[in-house]
Amino acid sequence: MKRFRMSQQEIVFVVFALLFLVFSIFLNGFLTAENMLTLLQNVAVLGILGLAMAIVVIGRGIDISLIAALAVPPGLVLQMVQNGHSLPFSLLIAVLLTIAFGLVNGWLIAYAEVPSLFATLATGLLLAGLGQAALFQLDVVQWSPGMNGFERLGQGTVLGIPTSIWMFAIACIVVAFLLRQTRWGAYIYAIGDNPYAARVTGIPSRPIIVLQYVITALIGCFAGLVLAASVNSMPTRIFNSTLIYDVILVVVLGGIGLSGGRGGVLNVIIGTLLIGTMLNGMTIMDISYAGQNLIKGVVLLLAVITDSFLNPRNEETAQQGDI
């Protein structure tokens, strides 16, 4: 007898379709071309961040500092251009900063063996504090004439589709290629599935973990650039927002278990669609910011509870102190 069981991503997709349907029917102004465009625009940055988070979550880690990587290096680009540096030079510095940040994260987690949640919580604060204290003059770094042309990264359309969606698509393809077609991708899955087994089979697990966090930080920086380009500024206070919860929601709801080794780009896309629709619907319904956070928090909690039942922690490989 063939059991009728749907995989998590199918369930989530059905939920998304239902939600979309309900919103379309009951919510005025949801199913308009204009709103769809906004929805997709908003979803793009979230989706790119989701991809970044997916890489570390598949490798049995988590990166809370992603929003700092999103806010600070792109903010630095804008600030440097404002101060008169050239755009390519500023980009280079920002990328170097991002790589350094990823290396610090990776080193702390892989070599100093600090739990990933804990390490990235602190490094995120460190980077945000650095930006606040030393890099930026104002909380919102403004667009300057030197940046002209760069806004096309986040604005306008190509072949009728918003550029930011293209960026999301490109990021999807790159990450999918990395995870599914390269040896490093296979290593990430192996480490996420069972770190000890991966290590004894000879996988260079520590360098691969460092690599994960560097790639994640770079993707985060890319998402920040897209965000800055689409709103023509970099609101660095975004670090204090609840964006990171949205990203975790995307990943967990999409079906990438927090215990690692499972999921892929498709899960991120589905999760992004669901969360994007939910956020957009709540905005149209004019739910206050705090109310939205409350709803998101409860949904995330339910998702994590469900996740812990669907992908229970492997007692053999769960570390002592794996909090």
Question: What Cα–Cα distance (Å) separates residue 214 from each residue in 146, 211, 264, 294?
Answer: 28, 5, 18, 32
Query: Residue 35 in contact with residue 284, Cβ under 8 Å?
Result: yes
* Per-residue contact flags (x/-) with another protein for residues 212 to 241, judged by CB under 8 A: ------------------------------
Check residue 123 for interaction with another protein (CB under 8 A): yes
75 binds another protein (CB under 8 A): no
Q: Select the residue interacting with another protein from 52, 128, 172, 270 (CB under 8 A).
A: 128
Smallest gap, in angstroms, from Cβ of residue 125 to another protein? 4
Spatial CA neighbour of 7 closest among 263, 185, 248: 263
CB of 21 to another protein, least distance (A): 27
Residue 122 touches another protein, criterion: CB under 8 A: yes
C-beta closer to another protein: residue 122 or 174: 122
Choosing from 4, 134, 145, 316, the residue that interacts with another protein (CB under 8 A) is 134
Q: Which one of 50, 61, 73, 131 is in contact with another protein (CB under 8 A)?
A: 131
- The number of residues that bind another protein (CB under 8 A) is 47
60 binds another protein (CB under 8 A): no
Among 27, 100, 103, 125, indicate the residue that binds another protein (CB under 8 A).
125
Site for another protein in 265-294 (CB under 8 A): 288-294
Residue 308 touching another protein (CB under 8 A): yes
Q: Does 316 bind another protein (CB under 8 A)?
A: no
138 contacts another protein (rule: CB under 8 A): no
Q: Work out whether 184 is an interface residue with another protein (CB under 8 A).
A: no
Which residues of the chain form contacts with another protein (CB under 8 A)?
62, 64, 108, 112-115, 117-119, 121-126, 128-134, 242, 245, 248, 258, 288-294, 296-298, 300-301, 304-305, 308, 313, 320-323
